[in-house]
Amino acid sequence: MVYRHVLCATKHSFLFFRFHTTEHTWQYSISIISCMQESTHSSNATNATVGLCPMRFSSRGFGLPLWDSENSNVQNCSHEDEGGGWDGCHLTINAPATNTWHYLEFEVTEPVVIAVEFVISVKGKERNV
């Protein structure tokens, strides 16, 4: 199952999202596939791809993520990859809690307005019918 969403946020805004895993789920991944900075300086507002995505996100099953908790999985998207560029931002969770809600929290870390597109991919064994 794949969820695909777009969110817009500014610094100090926290956005939450939730998704459900079945009893057969063995992995899920979250991928930021697009990060655009929205111009706010003129009436001719344009979007520009951000060099690095000024945000971080956290994931946790059973409840809202806590940034400093060992029960939460945190990914900072404001860093370069090994090649010196930004090639998306990914977090993969193997053997997650099953048959429960998982929660995501997104936080913009710089004073900009961004539009972020993210995908959640949930993998599990298919049920025999």
E-strand stretches of 1-129: 2-10, 14-21, 25-38, 47-49, 55-61, 73-76, 89-94, 100-108, 113-124
pLDDT in tens, the chain (129 residues): 566 777 777 777 788 889 999 999 999 999 988 888 775 554 444 454 555 788 889 999 998 888 778 888 988 888 655 555 556 788 999 999 999 999 999 888 888 888 888 889 999 876 543
Looking at the domain that runs over 2-124, which CATH code has it been given?
A: 2.60.120
| Domain map (residue ranges) of the chain | 2-124
Alpha-carbon dihedral angle through residues 59, 77, 116, 62, given to the nearest 10 degrees: 0
Question: One-letter amino acid identity for 92?
Answer: T
* Mode of pairing for the β-strands spanning 47-49 and 100-108: unpaired
According to DSSP, residue 13 is labeled -
